[in-house]
C-alpha cells in the first residue's frame, strides 16, 4: 500500500518497457517507456488503471507521482486518470458492466484506429506503411518536423508510395515548426493528400489560427488540448479542425467527454489517443472512444507494437483497422503478475 483514500487502499507499480526501436519526434527520441500502474482495493473488489506520465517526462515523473500519492500532494492529470480508470474498472467488475457502458449505455463495441509509424527513416517508414496497409489499416500516422523539410518530403513521399492512394496519411509535427515554417511545409506536403497535420506549432491559439488560415490542410491539436477551458479558447480562435484527446493529459474520463461534447457542438471532429501506454492505459482510452455519442475519427490506440512487452497476457490488438473492446466487465483486462514483475522498475 502506498496511499489510502476514504474506503480505498491504493497500490502503485512502476514499470520500465523498452521501445522495440527508437521512437523519434521533433523534440526527443524515445528508447524506453517509464510508467505506473495503480490498483485500488475496496470492500467491493479491486480495480486497476494506468497512471503513466507523458513518455518525455521519464522516470522522475513516475517517482514524483508515487510521492504525491503517498504524501497526499497535488496529483498530476495522468495520475487522476489512472485512479479514475481503476475506480470505473472496480465499479464495472462489481456490476457486470464495461467501462464504456458505464459511461454511456449506447457505447460501441469496436473503434476504428490508425497505425502509428515510429521511424523517420524513409525506407523503414515505407516498409511499416506497407505492413499497415496489408494488415487492414486505412489510416497511418508519421512524424514530421524531424530534420529538414526535404527530409519530411522524402519521408512522406516514401509513405504515400508504399500505402497507395486509398490509405489516409496523418502527419504529426509535435510543435516542431514556427508558424512560418509550418505554412511553408504544409504548402508542399498538401500534395500528398494529407488527412490532417497534428500540432504544427505551439499551443497558442492565435498561432495555430494563423497557420490554419494559410494552408489547405486540416489542423489537429494535441498538446494544446489540456482541458475544457483550453478547448473553448481554441474553438473561439478558429484554431483547429480536429481535437486529439488524451484522457491522461486532461485528467480523466469526465473532462475528456466534456471536450468531445464541446468539439461536437462546434461541428468539429475528435480523435482519442493513448500516450503510448501498456494495454491497461490503451484499453481505458478505447472505452472512452467507444462511449462517445459521435463516433471519433480513427483513433491513435494501436500503439502496443511500439513497445517490447506488455503487462497483460492477452494484449490489445488491432485487426482490420479496428480495435474491439475486450469481453468482460470493467476494463475487460487483468494485470499479469509475472509480467508486472518482469518489467518492474523497482
Residues identified as active-site: 143, 246
Angle at 132 between CA 129 and CA 138, to 5 degrees: 100
**Rounded to the nearest 5°, which phi and psi values hold at 212?**
-60, -35
CB-based contacts of 267, cutoff 8 Å, min separation 6: none
d(CA 120, CA 117): 8
**293-296 long-range contacts, Cβ below 8 Å, gap at least 24?**
293/104, 293/106, 293/260, 293/261, 293/264, 294/260, 294/264, 294/270, 295/108, 295/112, 296/111, 296/112, 296/260, 296/269, 296/270, 296/271, 296/272
Of 307, 303, 272, 266, the residue nearest 286 (C-alpha): 272
Amino acid at each position: 500500500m502506498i496511499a489510502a483514500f476514504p474506503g480505498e487502499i491504493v497500490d502503485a507499480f512502476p514499470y520500465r518497457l523498452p521501445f522495440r526501436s527508437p521512437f523519434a519526434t521533433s523534440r526527443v527520441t524515445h528508447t524506453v517507456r517509464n510508467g505506473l500502474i495503480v490498483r485500488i482495493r475496496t470492500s467491493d473488489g479491486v480495480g486497476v488503471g494506468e497512471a503513466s506520465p507523458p513518455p518525455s517526462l521519464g522516470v522522475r515523473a513516475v517517482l514524483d507521482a508515487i510521492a504525491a500519492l503517498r504524501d497526499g500532494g497535488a496529483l498530476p492529470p495522468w495520475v487522476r486518470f489512472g485512479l479514475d480508470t481503476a475506480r470505473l474498472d472496480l465499479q464495472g467488475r462489481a456490476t457486470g458492466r464495461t467501462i464504456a457502458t458505464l459511461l454511456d449505455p449506447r457505447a460501441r463495441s469496436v473503434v476504428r484506429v490508425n497505425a502509428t509509424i515510429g521511424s523517420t527513416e524513409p525506407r523503414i517508414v515505407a516498409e511499416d506503411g506497407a505492413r499497415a496497409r496489408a494488415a487492414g489499416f486505412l489510416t497511418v500516422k508519421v512524424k514530421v518536423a524531424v530534420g529538414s523539410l526535404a527530409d519530411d518530403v522524402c519521408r512522406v513521399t516514401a509513405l504515400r508510395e508504399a500505402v497507395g492512394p486509398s490509405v489516409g496519411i496523418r502527419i504529426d509535427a509535435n510543435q516542431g515548426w514556427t508558424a512560418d515554417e509550418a505554412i511553408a511545409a504544409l504548402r508542399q506536403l498538401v500534395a500528398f493528400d494529407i488527412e490532417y497535420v497534428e500540432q504544427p506549432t505551439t499551443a497558442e491559439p492565435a498561432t495555430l489560427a494563423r497557420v490554419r488560415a494559410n494552408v489547405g490542410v486540416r489542423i489537429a491539436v494535441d498538446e494544446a488540448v489540456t482541458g475544457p477551458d483550453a478547448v473553448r479558447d481554441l474553438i473561439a480562435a478558429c484554431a483547429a479542425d480536429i481535437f486529439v484527446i488524451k484522457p491522461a493529459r486532461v485528467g480523466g474520463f469526465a473532462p475528456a467527454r466534456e471536450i468531445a461534447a464541446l468539439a461536437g457542438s462546434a461541428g468539429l471532429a475528435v480523435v482519442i489517443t493513448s500516450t503510448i501506454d501498456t494495454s491497461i492505459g490503451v484499453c481505458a482510452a478505447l472505452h472512452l472512444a467507444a462511449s462517445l455519442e459521435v463516433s471519433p475519427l480513427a483513433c491513435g490506440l494501436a500503439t502496443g507494437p511500439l513497445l517490447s512487452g506488455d503487462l497483460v497476457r492477452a494484449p490489445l490488438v488491432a485487426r482490420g483497422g479496428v480495435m474491439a473492446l475486450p469481453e468482460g466487465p470493467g476494463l475487460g483486462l487483468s494485470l499479469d503478475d509475472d509480467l508486472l514483475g518482469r518489467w518492474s522498475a523497482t
